[in-house]
Structure 1
């Protein structure tokens, strides 16, 4: 079960690294604007805000990766909990898709980590 937990935590970290790239570096591109349903004008106006959000997602990924490297379950439990709370808030305020992109993988990874203890 431990290897399943490690794979799922790694997957959640990769999802958040991908979000970092989207929000910090590709925010103004047509593909990302289509993904988030924004206009070129909105993307230009909100680029700094999106980069800030991307940075926070980077911190989530860093905490998860550190937990994997240090082989310390406290870090993944804490950071997965943060991912889940942020995802629930995002789903309630931005898009329900966030439930499937962020919350479900986070919950599965958290359950696997707790079961592997």
Structure 2
């Protein structure tokens, strides 16, 4: 059975898989345009950058899944990838959209806190 923290980390990993799909495959589709408040013209000119960014989100998810799969030995792996996500979220909040704080940064910081508390 998953602990509270493992469940949260699993959900964060799934979120980053969802972001990968949005950025790599749905960027120019209506759902991608809405999610990132893009116009079709802007999406067309930024699709390669978005796909690259989506791939990085996939790596973040893979790292979290790796940490979960490693069990107790995966603590450092989970912490590393959660810290990466939190830092990326802070940067995204400051440079792109304030909603990133709630979608990406705060869940990662909560998971880090729960890991520290060993919940």
- Does TM, normalized by the shorter one, top 0.5? yes
Unaligned runs of 5+ in 2: none
Unaligned runs of 5+ in 1: none
1:111 to partner: Cα distance: 0.9
1:75-94 equivalences under 5 Å are 75-94=77-96
In 2, the alpha carbon distance for the partners of 1:115 and 1:107 equals 12
1:53 correspondence with 2:21: no
For 2:105, what is the secondary structure of its paired residue? Answer: helix
1:88-107 equivalences under 5 Å are 88-107=90-109
1:31 to partner: Cα distance: 1.9
Under a length normalisation based on structure 2, what TM-score does the superposition of the two structures give? 0.94
1:54 to partner: Cα distance: 0.2
Query: How many residues are treated as equivalent by the alignment?
Result: 116
Runs of 4+ in 1 over 4 A off after TM superposition: none
1:46 to partner: Cα distance: 0.6
Residue equivalent to 1:7: 7
Under a length normalisation based on structure 1, what TM-score does the superposition of the two structures give? 0.95
